[in-house]
Amino acid sequence: MHWDIDRAGELTSVYNDQVTDIPHCYAVSPEEFENGFRYGKGADKPYENLHSEKIIVGEQSGKIVGFADVAVAEISEGERKMRKGLIRFLTYQPGYRPVGQAILEEAEGYLRDMGMEKVSAFRISYRNDYCYRFYHLGFGLVSDRKGHIYGLFFMNNYEIEDGEIFMDQPAYKIAEPAIPDSQVEIVVEQNPGRGVLPGLTVQAFREGNEVGVCESVSAGKYCQNEEAQDWVFIKWLGVEEDYRRKGWGRYLLQRNLWEMRKIGYKNTIISANIKNHRAQLFYTNYGYRVADTCYQFSRKIRTAAHP
């Protein structure tokens, strides 16, 4: 069955039931679920470059056991602009593989009829913001905890195109860190957002030039669930080349966590690209442990004009 997205709220319980075992995926209300279809994580306004969206619903014995959200996006990659077929989200209940297969084939057929030559499934959000903001901190990838969905894509000749490793530290403990160089000015700024508690930016300046920054946000920025409000997500950590390997990455990370602990956060999450082994090693040196690994998939499909 093909549904318009104004019926998305009817699928809230299906979504909630099927993400319970994914770390940092929290139950949402029907209103929040509907908003996630329409609004990106950056602002409460409709997607500008997303169109032809449909929900593919799979049933067995009159019961909805899965669905896919498909759309066409106008995507910019450098100076190039292109139309790309997206499977924004796909899920089905374990044990109903024929339904999952039918949903995937129907999603591909819909995009093929729209003239798409390639499908990008669970496209990572830092490139183009087309995923659900409430799903997995707005990254919108396939968790390896969902082995039946992960396997379904591989069995249908999809390839991993990108991915992210998520690491967390529940009930973290932190002391005020010592600054590596007293000649560097540290600026700390709270940033209110959608979460109950604010986000935070810690910047390091030398002679007026920024040499490093660590930005964090509440997991409540992405999801209204009460459980998410106690988690601080380290969104960005960067140090200029001349100041690397001098303790600034450690200091900025620990200073941010120390400040956020004073605000009231209890737990912390951070992530790194699956190919960024240096960052993975760095974070695990400071108490983070892998919680989840997630992937973006893609596959070329034949168009109607080229059978």
Count up the domains in the chain and report the number: 2
Percentage of residues of the chain with pLDDT beyond 70: 94
Nearest to 197 by CA among 225, 170, 219: 219
Structural domain including 228 reads 185-265
Q: Does 285 map to a domain?
A: no
> 3-state DSSP call for residue 188?
strand
Q: Is the pLDDT of residue 165 over 60?
A: yes
pTM: predicted TM-score of the whole model, two decimal places:
0.90
Please give the span between the terminal C-alpha atoms of the chain, in angstroms, as a whole number. Answer: 25
Lookup result for tokens 């106008």: 74
What are the backbone angles phi and psi of residue 73, rounded to the nearest 5°? -120, 145
On whether residue 276 sits in a domain, the answer given is no
Give the 3-state secondary structure of residue 197. coil
Q: Are residues 140 and 253 in the same domain?
A: no
Q: Specify if 207 maps to a domain.
A: yes
Q: Which helix (H) or strand (E) holds 92?
A: strand 80-92
Strand partners, 295: 142, 163
Which residue, among 104, 99, 89, has the nearest Cα to 25 in the 3D structure?
A: 89
Close Cβ partners of 38 (under 8 Å, ≥ 6 residues apart): 5, 46, 47
Q: What is the mean pLDDT of the segment spanning 35-64?
A: 84
Nearest Cα residue to 34 out of 69, 64, 73, 75: 69
pLDDT in tens, 170-221: 999 999 999 999 999 999 999 998 899 999 999 999 999 999 999 999 999 9
Residue 236 pLDDT > 50, yes or no? yes
Show the DSSP H helices in the chain as ranges: 12-18, 30-38, 97-113, 147-155, 248-263, 277-284
Decide if pLDDT at 46 tops 90: no
| Closest alpha carbon to 73 in 26, 30, 40 | 40
Token reading at 278: 């240096």
Q: Is 102 found in the same domain as 9?
A: yes
| 102 and 18 co-located in one domain | yes
Is residue 272 within 8 A of residue 284, CB to CB? The reply is: no
Confidence check: pLDDT of 164 > 50 = yes
Query: Is the residue at 37 inside a domain?
Result: yes
Band of the pLDDT at 125, cuts 50, 70, 90? low
Would you say residue 282 lies in a domain? no
